[in-house]
């Protein structure tokens, strides 16, 4: 049981806080209970934060090389640990197909290695001096304790992106996992054993815990991934405390199929971009804009590829698992039915699969005849639905893709270099993929424009999100400066016998 006097640096799956209300985790494929966790109480949270603050004081004093060495040990642990139990828990908690779950948890080491070396290589800037004999530079320092509020869809990978950056910058970290993926997150915490005790903690809980962590004067920065509505609330709460926040708030990404698209490749890529993890990916392609000269043949090839997908629970041989909850599926049903009522045609899918009567499953769905006024073209669906709109040409495709309050990512399929370059220049999104959607890179910034978020994860920008700058001026030869008080009389302005400062 929890002893406030001896807070632990991570919460092990077998560990249950003494006072928090127990919360069941339900398998969305079978609707059976996977396990339980206890919500963190205010008293437990405060004790963990106090311990993290003490640990962070020592952590920030470590030289960059020593911190980097420890982060590399974490990467080694990730690579050496048998992640099958963690992946199985994730599949059972939120329905992700097992190959995707094991791939996620086994491939997080790169972020720790990247940020370990980035922080070691670059910790400030020496500026050209404005005054002879003066050494003028900027140095970067940690913020303190960062709060990481995680989503259910990539609970481990996205946590590692921001935690690796924050630790590399010299901070302590408090992780609040999504309730739907708390068990797998707790299981993963064992990889952080190389860290000093109490520097990192994983606190289970819901919205109230997240709000308390942001409001606490013991925390100093926030990283959040989730819906636009929740992202706005987090951003406002953080701003109210004058805390920097990195917000990744999802989107409704467009995919453009131009007249010059390699249609076989585009159809295969579209299946992954639209239906990967049942469409529950922030960068899923949801809105398709297909040039009319290739529209019919693309739809035919797209549907043929989509029909090959298998539906089933995450631990079976299936690409399409359940949606995370009944509410998530109800939203998908609402958007599809609204589109149908407004004139859209269902090419495939559009219903609950007969083969999976239990669980929150929905068939991969392709809609044609969609128009900009339909709700499915305006809202984030976050389900296995591709809404296709026929457009006249490339220019109309770009304009239609940009006609959205979202701006996370955008994809284009084309063999025209001109179109590829034009798309990269004109699309209003934080990321653009040409002929290969959904790719990320530790060394490149991940994040969106418009309502899709604030700040960036990964790259140098992802590191800067968790550190602050300090300007330093050192005159190594102290001497009285000519511009110091008092001013010489001749510096003052004289007019009509009067002196004016």
Any idea which residues carry the catalytic annotation? 248, 282
**Contact criterion met (CB below 8 Å) for 420 and 414:** yes
Tokens at 9, concatenated = 């640096």
CA–CA separation, 96 and 6 (whole Å):
36
Q: Where are the beta strands (DSSP E) in 41-184?
A: 124-126, 134-142, 145-149, 172-176
Other beta carbons within 10 angstroms of residue 424's beta carbon come to 13
End-to-end Cα spacing for the chain:
71
Sequence-ordered list of residues with C-beta below 8 angstroms from that of 490, at least 6 positions apart, any chain:
none
The Cα–Cα gap between 142 and 49 comes to 16
Q: Of 446, 466, 442, 443, which Cα lies nearest the Cα of 457?
A: 446
What separation in angstroms does the CA of 338 have from each of 81, 342, 495? 47, 6, 77
DSSP 376: G
Contact 412, 420 (CB under 8 A): yes
Using only C-alpha atoms, the chain has a radius of gyration, in whole angstroms, of 26
Q: How many CB atoms lie within 10 A of CB 281?
A: 21
- Residue 155, C-beta contacts closer than 8 angstroms, at least 6 positions apart: 90, 94, 177, 178, 181, 184, 185
In whole angstroms, what is the distance from residue 276 CA to residue 97 CA? Answer: 10
Query: What's the rounded Cα separation, in Å, for the pair 251 and 429?
Result: 10
Query: Closest by alpha carbon to 164, among 223, 123, 228, 204?
Result: 223
Q: Any long-range contacts for 347-352 (C-beta under 8 Å, 24+ apart)?
A: 347/299, 347/303, 348/303, 348/306, 348/307, 349/306, 349/384, 349/385
């Amino acid at each position: 049981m929890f002893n406030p006097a001896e807070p632990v640096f991570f919460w092990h799956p077998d560990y249950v806080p003494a006072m928090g209300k127990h919360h069941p985790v339900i398998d969305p494929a079978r609707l059976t209970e996977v396990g339980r966790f206890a919500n963190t109480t205010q008293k437990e949270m405060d004790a963990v934060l106090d311990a993290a603050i003490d640990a962070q004081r020592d952590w920030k004093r470590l030289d960059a090389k020593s911190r980097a060495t420890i982060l590399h040990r974490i990467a080694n642990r990730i690579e050496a640990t048998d992640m099958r139990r963690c992946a199985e828990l994730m599949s059972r908690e939120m329905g992700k197909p097992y190959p995707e779950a094991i791939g996620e948890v086994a491939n997080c080491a790169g972020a720790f290695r990247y940020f370990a070396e980035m922080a070691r290589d670059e910790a400030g800037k020496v500026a050209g001096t404005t005054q002879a004999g003066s050494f003028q530079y900027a140095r970067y320092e940690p913020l303190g304790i960062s709060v990481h509020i995680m989503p259910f869809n990539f609970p481990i990978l996205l946590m590692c992106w921001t935690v690796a950056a924050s630790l590399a910058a010299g901070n302590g970290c408090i992780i609040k996992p999504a309730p739907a993926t708390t068990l797998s997150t707790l299981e993963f915490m064992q990889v952080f054993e190389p860290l000093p005790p109490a520097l990192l903690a994983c606190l289970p809980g819901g919205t109230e815990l997240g709000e308390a962590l942001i409001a606490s004067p013991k925390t100093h920065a926030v990283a959040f991934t989730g819906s636009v509505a929740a992202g706005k609330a987090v951003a406002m709460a953080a701003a109210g405390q004058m805390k920097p926040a990195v917000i990744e708030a999802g989107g409704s990404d467009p995919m453009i199929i131009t007249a010059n698209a390699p249609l076989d490749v585009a159809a295969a890529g579209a299946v992954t971009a639209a239906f990967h993890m049942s469409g529950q990916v922030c960068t899923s392609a949801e809105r398709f804009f297909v040039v009319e000269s290739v529209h019919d043949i693309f739809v035919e090839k797209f549907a043929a590829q989509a029909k090959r997908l298998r539906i089933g629970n995450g631990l079976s041989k299936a690409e399409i698992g359940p949606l995370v909850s009944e509410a998530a599926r109800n939203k998908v049903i609402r958007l599809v039915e609204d589109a149908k009522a407004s004139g859209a045609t269902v090419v495939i899918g559009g219903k609950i699969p007969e083969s999976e009567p239990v669980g929150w499953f929905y068939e991969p769905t392709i809609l044609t005849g969609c128009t900009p006024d339909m709700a499915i073209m305006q809202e984030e669906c976050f389900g296995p639905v591709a809404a296709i709109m026929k457009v006249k040409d490339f220019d109309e495709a770009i304009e239609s893709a940009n006609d959205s309050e979202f701006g996370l990512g955008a994809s284009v399929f084309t063999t025209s270099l001109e179109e590829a370059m034009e798309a990269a220049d004109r699309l209003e999104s934080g990321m653009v993929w040409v002929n290969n959607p959904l790719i990320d890179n530790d060394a490149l910034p991940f994040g969106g424009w418009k309502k899709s978020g604030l700040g960036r994860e990964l790259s140098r920008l992802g590191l800067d999100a968790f550190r602050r700058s300090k300007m330093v001026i050192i005159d190594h030869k102290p001497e009285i400066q000519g511009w110091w008080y008092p001013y010489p009389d001749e510096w003052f302005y004289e007019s009509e016998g009067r002196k004016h400062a």
